[in-house]
Structure 1
Amino acid sequence: MKWTAILGLTAAVALSGCSKPDAETVDREQIQPKGEQVVIVHGLARSAWSMKNMSKGIEDQGYQVCVVDYPTLRQSIDHTLHESARELSRCITEFETSETQITNQPKIHFVGHSLGGLVIRSYLAQHPDLVGSPEMGKVVFVGTPNHGSDVADFFSDTWMLSLVGGTAESLTTNPNSFPNSLPLPNYDFGVIAGTQTYPVFSGMFAKTNDGLVSVESTKLEGMRDFVEVDIKHDRLRRDPYVTSLVLNFIQTDRFEPESK
């Protein structure tokens, strides 16, 4: 059991922090800039580079994109939130001073993969002035453990999770954990959940999951829309179909067109 757990945790870190994006398909069509920004936030054990495919796909549709880069491994949750908040503010300030604005009411949208969604929730909870402003746009949570992760629960009583750091330790499903301590969003948001799991983690879940986060954990009261996709957790951040769903929600409040 000891070695199985070690291998499982090693795989968790690898899946959330080591694989590279697939080759991109770049849309070369000239698209009129929209004068709107999308701020993208990566997940645990990742970097801004890991969101390259999604950011490019959104940028190709005329949006100004800023990808937040912040530390997560071997960091306390307080330090992670402090550094990510500084980066989020930088992105917003850059947009506000940009010369590319072409509309009278530019919007700032947010997209978070995994932990990135929690970072966005924390930031917006601390910035009610932004949430209540005309600039506030849509928010999309992609594979976000809004109620914690069963994988974090599995390793919570071992020394192995502490090796990853306090931020990882904060992601359990405990009622007092970081995810469960955040206030509910008071802005328009949608949720994308993966349903394709990793065999190495299959025994850690009782319900449908993306390998690291259960579908139920992604859901939040007040969702404007919700969609499940047959994709693994790590793949969610770089799958072109997921990017298209994100764009649909930003533009229409829906992930997929309503049936007529």
Structure 2
Amino acid sequence: MKKPLVICLILLLSLTACKSTNNPPVQYKPDDELVVLANGLGRSDWAMRYFAQQLKRAHYKVCSLNYASLGQSVEAVFTQTTTQINACIANASKVHFVGHSLGGLVIRAYLQNNPRVFNGNTLGNVVLIGTPNKGSELANHLNGSWLMHIAGSVSQSLITGSKRATP
């Protein structure tokens, strides 16, 4: 990968990933529907602000997850997000999920590991946008690079098939 492209990628991530909104706890009325938003790798809840605004205008309650992903282990990300999701969905009558990229993997893992959380009609729609369910060709391309090393085990876990490094 050429140096200017790498520098632009790092600059772009640093400009869009760091700001966080510290959302107050979501208050529910009996018929409110909640949408849990999960951002992608190297991003914060701020990256999902446009979705959040549009959903609020459509009268949904919104809970945006905010978790560190760069330099983190897969287990650390899932621990952070499970705690946040559990806090978000407490007392919600219907819960929908929208995840972008890594956020989709976070949602999928949460639902797989917590099947008893949703009873009856509590679980609504689940939308995964650009989620690398079978790994990422970009991760394959960057495999072994200094950028992947800095990004941590979350990004390394996205390497596909036989190209995946063994821990």
TM-score by length of 2: 0.80
Matched-pair identity in %:
35
Normalising by structure 1, what TM-score? Answer: 0.53
1:65 partner letter = V
1:123 to 92, 106, 110: 110
* Equivalent runs, 1:80-229 vs 2, <5 Å: 80-93=77-90, 96=91, 106-174=93-161
Larger Cα Rg: Structure 1 or Structure 2?
Answer: 1
CA distance in 1, matches of 2:127, 2:41: 17
| Offset of residue 165 of structure 1 | 1.2
RMSD: 2.4
1:139/1:175 CA distance change after superposition, 3 Å: farther
Q: Is the 8 A contact 1:118 1:144 kept in 2?
A: yes
What are the within-5 Å matches in structure 2 for residues 220-259 of structure 1?
Answer: none
Of 72, 76, 80, 1:79 maps to 76
Q: What is the Cα deviation at residue 107 of structure 1?
A: 1.2
Contact 2:39 2:47 in 1 (8 A): yes
**Alpha-carbon separation, structure 2, partners of 1:64 and 1:147:** 31
State the Cα distance separating 1:141 from its structure 2 match. 0.4
Count of residue pairs the alignment pairs up:
152
Superposition misfits of 4+ residues, deviation over 3 angstroms: 6-17
1:63 matched to which residue of 2? 60
What letter is aligned with 1:18?
Answer: L
Unmatched 5+ stretches in structure 2: 18-29
Unmatched 5+ stretches in structure 1: 21-32, 98-105, 178-260
Q: 1:35 corresponds to which residue?
A: 32
With a CA cutoff of 8 Å and minimum separation of 6, indicate the structure with the bigger relative contact order: 2
The answer for the alignment partner of 1:198 in structure 2 is none
